[in-house]
Structure 1
Amino acid sequence: MYGDGLSVIICCYNSACRLPATLKHLAGQQLSAGTAWEVIVVDNASTDETAETAKAEWEKYGIPGVSFQVVAEEKPGLSHAREKGIRASVFRLVVFCDDDNWLSEDYLQIAYTAMSGDPAIAAVGGQSTAAADIPLPDWFEASKNNYAVGRQAEQSGDISWRKHLWGSGLVIRKDLYNKAFSNFPSMLTGRNGKVLSSGEDSEICMRFLLMGYRLHYLEALTFKHFIAADRLRCDYNTKLMEGFIRAHEVLRIYARFIDAPGLPPKDRFPATLRSLIKVLAARLTGTRRWNIFDEKLQIFMLTGYPFKSIPPQIRSIRRLSVHRKKHRLNDC
């Protein structure tokens, strides 16, 4: 059992220069009496004074009753850092606050109220505005989603159809995260130092959807995303896009597993048969007319036939999907 409250996890890699403003906004949170919370800073193989800065800054505010700790995760990668933070947390709700996210003063209270009201919601996300020390470049408006800036939907509510929420300011249920990843290791590690890989946020959300839960957007959840000048260059934006493209190959498989149950029963056999014919035809004739892996994946999703070419990670996705009923609301 986990305590009733929120654990704010800040994953850091060389964040000494960004943490003071982030912690200042966290220290200004306004919560109703009795709403418990804590702050956990995860130092993910930093080479600067991230840990020392975090401790010194938080001590300035002296907030009674709020636990603060810095934990170290030497294995690089955002997913590793988040796992370390979650293991160190004690409350049932987890808030991922990036080291450059300035949460509005009511952020935690709104998140707590929303998640407490509907156990079918696995995760909620909000909207952000950009903050920077230099004028935003002309191209930024068209690329702001790459930076988790803007609105995630037209209005508040269920956005499970979108299949993901931003990791910035993401609020999740700890028990669902543990069920989603304890026996099914992550296929994506996220940003690793200066390597801008992506997709770990979407992977979390997609696993929740596979388990039968929902994603919600709340426009009342607001924060500022501070973007340093060196991240407002075209080459940095290009690297972000390249990271998204690399992650897409994995995430599209998740999406297919999420959508597979929506295929009407009467269409399942014909779909399986069509894919099987293509696989057999390719084996007999050597044709490369079709993407045979995709056809085998289709058969695997619909029937579970264990093709040797299906990697163990993808098999784990199906196992998670098959067991979704075990993770439904009666487990909350």
Structure 2
Amino acid sequence: MVYLKREIGISIILCSYNGEKKLLPTLRAIYQQNVPQTIHWEVLFVDNNSSDNTLKIVHEHQSLFSQSAIPLHILKENRAGKFHALKKGISEAKYSYFIIVDDDNWLAEDYVEKAFQHIHANPNIGAIGSYSEAVFENVPQEIPKWFTKNKERYAVGEQGKDGNVTSRKHIWGAGMVSRTDLYEQLFAQHPSLLFDNDIEDIYVAEDTEFCLRLILKKYELHYYSDLKIKHFVPDDRLSYEYCRNLNQKIENSFKIIDLYHGVSKLLSKKYQNPFEKKRLKIMTLLRYFCTLNKAKKQRNKVLMGFLYPSSKFRNKCIARLDAFLKDNSLVNPNVEDHY
């Protein structure tokens, strides 16, 4: 496939499903951005098949973008799920870089400028994460302990120390900065395992899968605390039931995400040693049959699929991920040690 080189600049991809109650401050934070004239940028709003007044609100505020000379393009994606909406926005993006903005994210006024500067300065960066501050609809007298414990799953807080955070294996999608052509290339010939498989559409962890694909292709994940967003948390999300359901959805994604972690383990320097790899094959086999822990059994099952290609553990998803891994056309051209 031939990809047209996009213009240097940055596209905001704003996806929303029934976001009428959250959207106004998000839009306001975008059209109030302070962006130097030397940086070209645009906004693509993707309506993910909303049934409320989301589209009406966006149309009503188009004039504010026009007054600020900010191109605003309104798109529609009928397939459910942020992955499909994001993919639609990226396919229409004009510029070389993009920022993911959810309908409950409020960008700091210098976000576009700093995002551009960070990613434009280093070709090895695959994606950049930001600092996220929770803004509660009604501030509780005491923040629940379960929220603090799970705040990363709410995309709230820090994502490490400034600089290279590739060892974290992921950064969250809210506020993520990345490369437009690269995103398209990573999914064009090798569709998502989360959203294009024979099991089910899981609807979460699209950001994690993207990050893991970047890492497998030798790109780095970075975090910069001077990129700041506020993440609105409505009352209905500050409940233990919501948190429990969120965790369950994320855990459901592990059946796919564990495939990426499994192959990442096999690619580590330790297992390039033939003796260590043979030892791993034997130990994984023993652990699979001896453990009673479901999570550990699942992880060992994944490794078995890679270590024993002709076994019953080699399913379609593993085969597809193996094909992705062996596609050297996707490897970061700035590194020498291709697979």
TM-score, L = length of structure 2: 0.85
Q: State the shift of 1:174 in Å.
A: 1.1
Mapped partners of 1:300, 1:143: distance in 2? 31
Contact kept in structure 2, 1:268 and 1:302, CA below 8 Å: no
Measure, in 2, the Cα distance between the counterparts of 1:277 and 1:247: 26
The correspondence of residues 198-237 of structure 1 with structure 2, limited to 5 A, is: 198-237=204-243
Q: 1:298 aligns with which of 292, 296, 303?
A: 303
Q: Is the 8 A contact 1:36 1:66 kept in 2?
A: no
The match for 2:156 among 149, 152, 162 is 149
Secondary structure at the counterpart of residue 4 of structure 1 = strand
Moved more, 251-260 or 24-33: 251-260
Bigger Cα displacement from structure 2, 289-298 vs 172-181:
289-298
1:40 matched to 2:47? The reply is no
Counterpart-to-counterpart distance in 1, 2:23 and 2:246: 22
Identity %: 28
Note if contact 1:7-1:90 (Cα within 8 Å) is conserved in structure 2.
Answer: yes
For 1:268 and 1:103, the matched residues in 2 are separated by 49
Match of 2:191 in 1: 185
- Give the Cα–Cα distance (whole angstroms) in 2 for the partners of residues 232 and 175 of structure 1: 37
Q: Is the 8 A contact 1:196 1:239 kept in 2?
A: no
Cα RMSD between the aligned structures?
Answer: 2.8
Q: Which residue of 2 aligns with 1:108?
A: 112
Maintained 8 Å contact 2:263/2:303: no
What are the ranges of 5 or more consecutive residues in structure 1 without an aligned counterpart? none
Matches within 5 A, 1:304-323: 305-307=309-311, 309-323=313-327
CA spacing shift, 1:132–1:299, aligned 2, 3 Å: closer
The residue that corresponds to 1:165 in the other structure is: 171
Q: Which residue pairs with 1:67 in the alignment?
A: 71
Q: 2: CA distance between counterparts of 1:31 and 1:147?
A: 28
Q: 1:65 to 1:34 in 2, by over 3 A?
A: farther
Q: Deviations over 1:304-327 (max 9, x none)?
A: x35454232222222222234752
Distance in 1 between the 2:27 and 2:238 partners? 23
Q: Which amino acid aligns with 1:223?
A: I
Within 2, Cα distance between the matches of 1:233 and 1:264? 43
Q: Which runs of 5+ in 2 are unaligned?
A: none
Question: Counterparts of 1:49 and 1:124 in 2: how far apart (Å)?
Answer: 32
Distance 2:202 2:139 in 1: 23
**How far is the alpha carbon of 1:251 from its aligned partner?**
1.3
Distance change (3 Å), C-alpha of 1:265 and 1:29: same
Shift in CA distance, 271/327, structure 1 to aligned 2, threshold 3 Å? closer
Matched, 1:122 2:132: no
Tell me if 1:23 matches 2:27.
yes
SS across alignment from 2:253: helix
1:71 corresponds to which letter in structure 2?
Answer: L
Aligned to 2:6: 2
